[in-house]
Chains A and B, each alone.
Chain A
Amino acid sequence: MKKYWKLISIAVITVGTIGFFYIQSALAGSNYPEFEIETLGGNDEEVQDLVLYGNYMEGNIKGNDFQITAEGIQYNRDLSYFDRLDRRDRFPELKRLQQDYKSFMRGKNSLSQLAESETHIVYADVTGNSGEMSFRIEVLDKEDNEQTAFTVEVPDDEKDSFIYVEQVYMDGEKVKVVTRNHVNGSMDGFTTEIHVYEFNIGDQILTGNEMILSYSEGSTDQTMTHVYKPGDGSKLQSDTHAIFVMEEWETDEEGGYYSQFAESKVISIDMETNEFTEFVLPDTLQGVENTVLLENSQGDSMLYFPKNNEHGLEIVVIDLENEKMDEKRSFTFERDNINMNSGPPVTAIQDGKMYIITQTNEEYALSNIFVVDVQSGELLYEGQITGLNGNVKSMEYFFHIFDMAIR
């Protein structure tokens, strides 16, 4: 034995130390502060299914991402490796589809490329490089579990450098795919076109291609255009409309970014008729970074813009039918603790309820949580996220919620 002391000591120290470290850190868990949801009013059933994703940092260095539910907080480092590997919890709808239709859903990770009806799921993708791009459409018949797939060449794709699928819509045999096509740019700037392509899945052919509008992302005219879709991509959008918010920015002569907001508009495409409307947002929504939710109920399509203002949380409702702000349904929850400098609220909408998280300017109540009935505007639940209890000085930490999901 004595002969082997070097080997034995290295082996014992190594295995012992590393083993002890991992056992101890698995048992003890992290030591980051606890935060919790505290109910201020309403029925706390409303937040049972809510998961808030955020990040906590002390001194810009010490911290971790976390998720908060009604049961409490869990830091990412305390999740098992396998849980961290599977980040689909952030997208409950995607997770449901992948669990229910495991085989069909392979390789399909973007909800904007999917549409679901009672009987079918359809998926649209664009593959290949400029000049030889093609659509791939895959359809799953839920009843007999039969999959069909076909590819169709993208018409006039010599001019396109990239095509993003933004939304898929299905109505019987008819499938429509809303895309954003980046046209091969010149030196002066890049043009982007929004198209609606129409397919017949019975005949497996492309039956229509309509360019809805085109806009320049270039800087020649000293405006930058930024177009985005409502929501965070966590929901299927087999809705009646395809909605884009278009923000125009004035830039400096070099075309620098983030200069000044010029105008915010809404672009709305009726998925049935391809009819397209464009309207300027009301003054109250100009000049700020917006977050927007779309809800269809009882035949009406409404856009909801939750927004922080000096009085509290304002919710601006816009009726897509008449393209105007619905003054009667827009309202403000008056609160005096909302942090105006924290960017737009984090929002989600599901089953006729709107979930809104705003950052506060208070020391120990870090975020407000609102659950609002979309139809009536009634506040169903109000709460706040609390923690720390004065253990950490405010100048030394950073807490924010960046996303949420409803399980």
Chain B
Amino acid sequence: MNRYIKLVNFEISRFIKLYFVLIAITVISQVTGTIMISSQYVNSASEAIYQHGVSIEQFITERGLMSMFQVTASLWFLGPIALCIAALIFYTFFIWYRDWFAKNTFIYRLLMLPTARINIYLAKATSIFLLVLGLVALQLFLIPLLSTILKWIVPVDLRLDMSVTELIDSFFYLQIILPQSFVEFLIYYGIGFMVVFIVFTAILFERSFRLKGILLGGVYGILSIAIFTMPFFIFIDYLYPIELLAVETVLGLIVAAMSIWVSHYLLTKKVMV
């Protein structure tokens, strides 16, 4: 256990600089975006009202009220999120390959550690989980902050105030990152982490059998996804929704367990340094 926590801490420390860069980019872009979009709205409102004599009501009818929705639907807000997602997907691969391709083959030392080798795998997976969830938590901090900035800039008559939950209800993309209920949160991120396990296992296939391993890893990935999605092709007309959910939960756990088990085998018996 202690070894495992040490490994997680080690993996996170290795990424922390880049992680802070991602956080900084997100904060800067989203705050700047909020200021820009709010100011533009207020400027066009004062131009319309003071220079062209448009009434406030008429301006609202034409432009709509200013709300956090306009901010979240903008590239300022979604761009850094997409960047973070891309960076973490990339790191899901890099977290393994850096150990082989860095200056000194670090994986050699890792595998020699006096601990079960599966701990390395689990530590890397845990790090990815924590890094992803950390960015989700960052959004939960940032959205109220951005709402406050918007309230400073836009006068009350011109804006529609929305809470975080109301904002999530209004915007489908946000519902993927922050689902409406905790059960959905577990489902969405559970599926995400199952996929991380599958990808890790595919990487270990490649690391064990090299060229042939790419094929094996691909087959393994397709097989896993096929098992998980099978009910949608076979039983979709047969199962009631709640039963489908139960079946999918069990299959998801089976696929994740299978990945861990196969990886354990590959790490102890097959992996090449």
Contacts and interface: CB of A to CB of B under 8 A. Distances in A.
Contact of B170 (A10, A63, A102, A395): A63
Contacts, number: 105
A265 B131 CA distance: 63
Interface string A364-397: 0000000000000000000000000000000110
Interface in B41-72: 57, 60-61, 64-65, 67, 69
B180 A59 contact: no
Given A3-B9, A15-B133, 14 more contacts: A4-B5, A13-B137, A17-B140, A18-B136, A18-B185, A25-B165, A59-B64, A62-B69, A63-B170, A77-B180, A81-B180, A98-B240, A395-B57, A395-B61
12 contacts: A7-B8, A7-B130, A10-B130, A11-B130, A17-B141, A32-B166, A59-B65, A60-B64, A81-B181, A85-B242, A107-B238, A395-B60
A7 B162 contact: no
Contact of B12 (A7, A25, A59, A102): A7
B211 interface: no
Nearest to B237: A107
A227 B12 CA distance: 63
Contacts of B223: none
Interface centre among A14, A61, A85 (most CB of B within 10 A): A61
Interface centre among B131, B160, B185 (most CB of A within 10 A): B160
A26 B169 CA distance: 14
Contacts of A61: 64-65, 67, 69, 160, 162, 170
A30 B5 contact: no
Tell me the dominant secondary structure on chain A's binding face. helix
A328 interface: no
Given A11-B130, A17-B140, A61-B170, A22 B64 contact: no
Nearest to A61: B69
Contacts of B242: 82, 85-86
Contacts of B241: 85-86
A180 to B, nearest CB: 21
Given A4-B5, A81-B183, A106-B240, A31 B133 contact: no
Contacts of A64: 169
A395 B181 CA distance: 31
Given A17-B140, A81-B181, A85-B241, A30 B166 contact: yes
Interface of B: 5, 8-9, 12-13, 16, 57, 60-61, 64-65, 67, 69, 130-131, 133-134, 136-137, 140-141, 160, 162-166, 169-170, 178, 180-185, 237-242, 245
Contacts of A395: 57, 60-61
A6 B16 contact: yes
A80 interface: yes
A25 B133 CA distance: 18
Contacts of A59: 64-65, 67, 160
B181 A80 contact: yes
B65 to A, nearest CB: 4
Size class of the contact patch on chain A: 35 or more
Contacts of B134: 10, 13-14
B12 to A, nearest CB: 5
A319 interface: no
Nearest to B159: A59
Given A31-B163, A395-B60, A18 B169 contact: no
B16 A30 contact: no
B9 A62 contact: no
A22 B9 contact: no
A108 B57 CA distance: 51
A333 interface: no
A348 B242 CA distance: 29
B169 A77 contact: yes
A17 B134 CA distance: 9
Contact of A14 (B5, B133, B169): B133
Interface centre among A10, A25, A30 (most CB of B within 10 A): A10
A30 B12 CA distance: 36
Interface string A86-127: 100000000000100010001100000000000000000000
A236 to B, nearest CB: 19
Contact of B137 (A6, A14, A82): A14
Contacts of A13: 134, 137
Contact of A6 (B9, B162, B165, B169): B9
Contacts of A11: 130
Nearest to A60: B64
A36 interface: no
Contacts of B178: 21
Contacts of B240: 86, 98, 102, 106
